[in-house]
Amino acid sequence: MKMQKYTYDYPHPAVATDCVVFGFDGHDLKILLIERGIEPFKGAWALPGGFLRMDETAEQCAIRELSEETGLNLNYLKQLGTFSDVNRDPRERVISIAFYALARKTDVQGGDDAAQAKWFGINDVPRLAFDHDYILHKALEKIREDIHFEPVGFGLLDKEFTMSELQRLYEAILGVQFDRRNFHKKMLQTGILEEVEDDSPTFFGKNSEMRSMSIDALFGNSAPTSRSSYSSSHDDDCRSTRRWGTKFRFNKRRYDEFKEGDSFRQEF
């Protein structure tokens, strides 16, 4: 079967996809890399990706390769650009359609069994194979732009999250610090967040399955950060009376209203 050849009247480049998978461990923005097992760049780290099949779109290809190489099943992919330098692959002419994707901790939990896949803090990324350094650079640029106008952040957090988690995420992505009160105010007045009412004592287990699991240590290779003492408390204590740790969730309906509405460019 492998002996079959494919012949064309004109030369065709090979077409591949690559995917920059972002994650967030509560402190740092992470990306997922795989270690190459074959030449070229054997042993080097690279973005997950692979060659396009004839019966799938680029996005389907990226999703499939991601699943095969890292065990991650994601569906929020965003195209980021196509890279077509003539010599970007030493084997043959390969153009690569690049995406970025957002992984929740719960996604990671599901299938981080790919032995050669590893999370790296965004500041601890090694030299990558091919032009993947450049692709990563572009992905960072793009997510930093997108986050102002699209609900990028919510793809990286659990369905319910605290305002502080959201703020830390924004700070990690943008590399800046925000004033807590102003951040809180601005996020609320966009209207795309809704508060999760936690004080309703109706059913004892109402929101229990939605409560975020402990924040740290789900990303296996969390780079040593300055503050490693972040709350590793179990969640099964003190549920009923606290209005501490208010949780929010993304209100997709409201967001869609914004997007369709007159106000093009609603900013987050």
Partner DNA sequence: GCAAAAGTGTTCTTCGTACACCCATGA
Partner DNA sequence: TCATGGGTGTACGAAGAACACTTTTGC
CB of 63 to its own copies, least distance (A): 13
The verdict on 237 binding DNA (CB under 7 A) reads yes
- The mark string for 87-126 relative to its own copies (x by CB under 8 A, - otherwise) is ------x-x-x-----------------------------
Looking at the Cβ atoms of 210 and 238, the one nearer to DNA is 238
Return the residue matching tokens 């609900």: 151
d(CA 14, CA 219): 34
123 vs 229, which CB is nearer to DNA?
229
The 3-state DSSP class for residue 83 equals strand
95: β partners:
15
Q: How far apart are CA 206 and CA 201, in angstroms?
A: 8
- What is the SS3 assignment for 136? helix
Q: Based on the shown chain and the rule CB under 8 A, indicate whether residue 203 belongs to the binding site for its own copies.
A: no
Cis peptide before 90 (omega within 30 of 0): no
| Contact present, 74 and 101 (Cβ < 8 Å) | yes
Give the integer Cα–Cα distance in Å for 213 and 107: 12
Q: Which is nearer to its own copies, 50 or 71 (CB)?
A: 50
Closest to DNA by CB, 152 vs 193, is 193
Asked whether the CA dihedral 74, 75, 77, 82 is positive or negative, the reply is positive
Structure tokens at 11: 């030369």
Would you call 94 helix, strand, or coil by DSSP?
strand
Q: Which stretch binds DNA (CB under 7 A): 60-68, 113-121, 151-159, 244-252?
A: 244-252
Q: Which stretch binds DNA (CB under 7 A): 36-44, 90-98, 130-138, 162-170?
A: 162-170
Residue 26 or 153: which CB sits closer to its own copies? 153
Q: One symbol per residue from 170 to 199: x for binding its own copies (CB under 8 A), - otherwise; what is it?
A: ----x-------------------------
Residue from 75, 84, 109, 225 binding its own copies (CB under 8 A): 84
Alpha carbon distances (Å) from 154 to 64, 121, 150, 194, 217? 23, 19, 9, 12, 20
Binding residues vs DNA (CB under 7 A)? 162-164, 179-182, 184-186, 189, 227, 229-233, 237-238, 242-246, 267
Interface residues with its own copies (CB under 8 A) are 2, 5-15, 51-59, 79, 81-82, 84-86, 93, 95, 97, 144-145, 148, 174, 264-265
